[in-house]
Copies of this chain bind each other. A is one copy, B any other.
Amino acid sequence: MVDYPIPKKKAVKRKSSSKKRRGMALEKLVDEANRFYLEHDKAIIHKKPTPIQTVNVDYPAREKAKITEAYYRKPSTTDYNGIYKGFYIDFDVKETSHKTSYALKNIHEHQIEHLSRVKRHGGLTFILIHVKREDASFLLPFERLEKYLERAKTGRKSMTFAEIAAEGFRIEEGYRPRLDYLRAVDTYLKNK
Residues of chain A touching chain B, judged by Cβ–Cβ distance below 8 Å, are: 38, 41, 43-44, 46, 48-52, 54, 64-73, 76-77, 81-88, 90, 114, 117-118, 120-123
Contact = CB atoms under 8 A, between A and B. Distances in A.
A150 B81 CA distance: 30
A118 to B, nearest CB: 6
17 contacts: A41-B117, A44-B123, A49-B51, A49-B52, A50-B52, A64-B72, A65-B72, A66-B69, A67-B67, A67-B70, A67-B72, A68-B69, A83-B88, A83-B121, A83-B123, A86-B121, A86-B122
Copies in the complex: 2
A49 B46 contact: no
A121 B182 CA distance: 15
A97 to B, nearest CB: 23
Contacts of A83: 88, 90, 118, 121-123
A173 B76 CA distance: 28
Given A50-B52, A114-B44, A71 B67 contact: yes
B86 A43 contact: no
Nearest to A86: B122
Nearest to A84: B121
A67 B69 contact: yes
A30 to B, nearest CB: 16
Nearest to A68: B68
